Amino acid sequence: MIHCENLVKIYKTADTEVLALQGLDLDVPRGQLVATIGNSGSGKSTLLNILGGLDVPSAGKVTVNDTDILRLDRRGLIEYRRNTIGFVWQNSARNLVPYLTALENVELPMLIAKNRRRSWAKEILDMVGLSDRAKSRLDQLSGGEQQRVAIAIALANNPPLLLADEPTGAVDTFTTDAIMDVFRRFNRVLGVTIIIVTHDRQLSRAVDRVVAIRDGKTSSEFLRRQAYREVYEHDAEHADELFPDSEETHEEFVLVDKVGRLQLPNDEMEKLGIKPNSKLRVREENGHLVILPAVADKPGRDP
């Protein structure tokens, strides 16, 4: 579904340049539910805006749903945003028109695309658990309900890719769980590929794959352990009770890029006292890659 190769994004002002992406690579298969995590300024929202056709990289390649979006003209980008991408913002007000009902909000993208289907709009609202709130306006809905309507709006035109920027950033834990249940339902039932940008590492429990971005590059990935996957697929409701520690549910893998570069996890560097710009030795031992501090050679001593 998504192929990003060596993405670079530089934001320029009169006095300075900010390097938001520094050669980012990413591949996402169709139908995958992925969380992208990283600190503020790591480049994850920039990546989402590029995938959504809202921003253009300074260099690199981007293919979404077999379309090279960097080659699209203005009209092509409009069609791409309308039919290929669904976007959910952290601030639900950006998704909703306050004087329309929930049902009318969901129908609005259909009207713009000249593809109005009230039955489908009602079905989506039912899937997000708001069929009884279809005639309610924005001021009559809670924050969590507004965000679920926003998800329904994003899927109104059946896009194959859904992008969500901090969709649970302004709600409590209970509402967060409800919103993630909605994402999982659409991913499972409709096969929609979903990319969620978040600061919350605990959301990794709700997805198979977590991509960590640091300093504008994909630094590592967290994948579900087989034991947790098997329990989760059969009993998602009680899986977290059986695996209370997030380290038991997912395993972290460091990524090596095409020229052999990798980023060591921050916590491991702190544990070993490795500082930025340190010199390290790398060697192979019994099929393992070993990283050692650089020690000056001395006569008669093996460093």
Residue 303: what pLDDT?
47
Confidence check: pLDDT of 49 > 60: yes
CB 219 within 8 A of CB 263: yes
201: pLDDT strictly greater than 60: yes
d(CA 273, CA 264): 12
Mean pLDDT value across residues 13-26: 87
pLDDT for 5: 92
Q: For 28-39, what is the HEC assignment?
A: ECCCCEEEEECC
Check residue 261 and give its pLDDT. 79
Higher pLDDT, 111 or 27: 27
Burial degree of 213 (CB within 10 A; 0-12, 13-18, 19+):
buried
- For residue 31, the model assigns a pLDDT of 93
Query: Residue 287 pLDDT more than 70?
Result: yes
Q: Answer whether residue 247 shows pLDDT above 60.
A: no
Q: Report whether pLDDT(245) > 80.
A: no
Residue range 121-163, pLDDT digits in tens: 889 899 888 989 999 988 898 888 888 899 999 998 889 999 9
pLDDT score recorded for residue 59: 92
pLDDT at 57: 92
Amino acid at 69: I
Quick one: pLDDT band at residue 25, thresholds 50, 70, 90?
A: very high
pLDDT at 269: 80
- In the chain, where are the structural domains located? 2-84+159-263, 265-303
Q: Give a three-class secondary structure readout of the chain.
A: CEEEEEEEEEEECCCCEEEEEEEEEEEECCCCEEEEECCCCCCHHHHHHHHCCCCCCCEEEEEECCEEHHHCCHHHHHHHHHHCEEEECCCHHHCCCCCCEHHHHHHHHHHHCCCCCHHHHHHHHHHCCCHHHCCCEHHHCCHHHHHHHHHHHHCCCCCCEEEEECCCCCCCHHHHHHHHHHHHHHHHHHCCEEEEEECCHHHHHHCCEEEEEECCEEEEEEEECHHHHHHHHHCHHHHHHHCCCHHHHEEEEECECCCCCECCCHHHHHHHCCCCCCCEEEEEECCEEEEEECCCCCCCCCC
Q: What percent of the chain has pLDDT over 70?
A: 87
Predicted confidence (pLDDT) at residue 297 exceeds the cutoff of 50: no
Q: Is the confidence at residue 244, as pLDDT, over 80? A: no
Mean pLDDT of the chain: 83
- 100-114, 203-217, 262-276: range with highest mean pLDDT: 100-114
pLDDT reading at 235 higher than 60: no
Class for the domain spanning 2-84+159-263: alpha beta
Range with lowest mean pLDDT among 48-52, 163-167, 220-224: 220-224
pTM for this predicted structure: 0.83
User: Is a pLDDT exceeding 90 seen at residue 184?
Assistant: no
The number of C-alpha atoms within 13 Å of 76 and in the hemisphere containing its C-beta is 7
What's the rounded mean pLDDT across residues 252-267?
79
The residue among 206, 140, 208, 149 whose CA lies nearest residue 173 is 206
pLDDT of 60 reads 93
Position 191 scores a pLDDT of 92
Region of poorest pLDDT, from 187-201, 208-222, 261-275: 261-275
- Measure the CA–CA gap between 131 and 124, rounded to whole angstroms: 8
Place of tokens 């000056």: 296
CA 153, distance to chain mean position in Å, is 19
Dihedral (Cα; 242, 246, 247, 248), 10-degree rounding: 20
253 has a pLDDT exceeding 60: yes
Give the CA distances from residue 275 to residues 216, 264, 291, in Å, rounded to whole numbers and listed in that order.
19, 11, 14
